[in-house]
Each structure stands twice: as structure tokens, then as C-alpha cells.
Amino acid sequence: MRGETAARLAVHDSGHRGAAAFEPAFGQLYDDVRQLGFDALIYDYTPVPRSLEGELITPSLLRTRNVPDDMVSLWCQSGYYQVDPVQIHALDSCAPFTWSYCRPENTSLRRVLNEQHRPVSHYMQNHNMRCGVTVPLHLPKGGFVTVTAIHTGLDTDNEIETVLARIGLLAHTFQEHVFPLFDEAWYHCRHVHLSPREQECLAWSAEGLTAKEIARKLHRSLATVNLHLNNAARKLGASNRVQAVVRAMHYRLL
């Protein structure tokens, strides 16, 4: 069953002003892509697209229109996003591209599609979302967006090619308009979560302060500071504090 799922997010942000401001613009984008013959629309944003291990990071912002009711939860909670061949190809691309699960050999999917992508491929075909266009947008400070317009027709590959440039222009224009409307919470990578005190201690460590110096600056005991630094390193998968700082910077936690 399909529904209007624009209010859904990968994060709980429905009460934020950014979400309310974003909605009208996203609704207009959906109307625009429908006029070009598409039936569904997906927008996602992640401030840090890959983990240090190379795995795709689940978006902090996800908006959809006219997709199956379970799609958001599958992509954001069941690991489908990490094995989505369209997203994998998009991250290594700069230009809009077409994709098709019916005839992948004729589209960009021929370069990436393999056995590990079978859950996504089956899902998309079973729900009649067999082809479409994706526009990758590499943003300032390392953020990443994809805008994906989906066509449910069977023999529409050639038709999609004719509107590729127009979809690309729509996506870039939309992103330029909505970027200033982003809620502050959307800029935070959710791959790793540090407490405010852990971040503070690690930030001072990045400035070159020792644990003793951090303890004096924060008016906390040395044992407490060491606990925060060790917890941060553990969460980041770091073997020492220097590595913890490097990893925290990758995830934009400092």
C-alpha cells in the first residue's frame, strides 16, 4: 500500500521549524517531477555519507512521496540503505543518472549490481518501482544528498533519458532553496553518538590539552575526564586518543 509519506523521517524531527519549512518546497518538487511523468519521489541527506570502514551511513533526513509504507523503515532500520545499489553508485557520481532493475545492463546499475543488492532489487521490482533517475548532490563541508524520481512504467527507459537534464536542474534548484531551511539537528551525523561532556573533553584534547589540563579547565577530577575520554574512544572504535580525535572529526563531532 502506498501513501503520502512526506512527514516521515529517519529521525524524530516533526516538531522542528526546519521540518515545517521544508514541507511546502518538497511538495512543489513532487508536483514538478510528476509533470515529467514520474510517480514517486525520494530525498535524503546525510552530513557524513560514509563510515571510516567505507559503509554508507543512514541519512539524518529522509523525505518520500508515494512509496510503500514499509520502505522508510526497511531502508533506515533494516540495513537496506547500505546495500542500495543506486545509493552506492550515486556516492561515486557527480552527474544525474538513470537506473533500471528490469534492464540494469542498459543503465548505470550494470557497474555495481551484484548478489548483495538482491534484497533491494527484489523489493523495488515487487513494488513496481523498476526504473528512475537519481541526482547526486555533493554539498559544502562534505554533506551528501540524493534526489530520486521513480517511474512505475515498464518500458520507459528511453523516455526517462529525455528528461534527465530537467530533473537535474530541478534537484539543484530545490537544494539551493531548502539548504538554508535545514534544522540544526539534521547536520549531526548519527553513526556515532557522544555525550556533550565526551565531546567537550575530546574537543579540548584536539586542542592539545592533556587530561590533567582538561580536568583543571572543566573543574572536574582527572578520573572523570579520563572516563569521558575513554568512553569517547570506545564509542569511536579508537585505540588511543589521537585516533579518537581523528575519527570524531570525520564524523563532524568536533
Task: Say yes or no: 53 and 153 in one domain.
Answer: yes
Q: CATH number, domain at 231? A: 1.10.10.10
Q: Are residues 177 and 226 in the same domain?
A: no
pTM of the complete model: 0.85
> Residue 93 belongs to a domain with what CATH number?
3.30.450.80
On whether both 36 and 61 belong to a single domain, the answer is yes
Q: Residues 238, 125: one domain?
A: no
Same domain, 96 and 12: yes
Based on the fold, state whether residues 88 and 139 are members of the same structural domain.
yes
Query: What pLDDT is recorded for position 217?
Result: 95
Confidence at residue 16, expressed as pLDDT on a 0 to 100 scale: 53
Instruction: Quote the domain boundaries for residue 31.
Output: 2-187
Mean pLDDT, 10 residues at a time, the chain of 254 residues: 41 49 92 94 96 94 94 94 96 94 86 91 93 95 95 70 92 94 82 94 96 96 96 95 94 90
CA distances from 133 to 36, 86, 99, 105 (A): 11, 9, 6, 15
User: Are both 46 and 136 inside the same structural domain?
Assistant: yes
The count of domains in the chain is 2
Residue ending a domain, among 148, 168, 187, is 187
Q: Are 112 and 152 found together in one domain?
A: yes
**How much is the pLDDT for 185?**
79
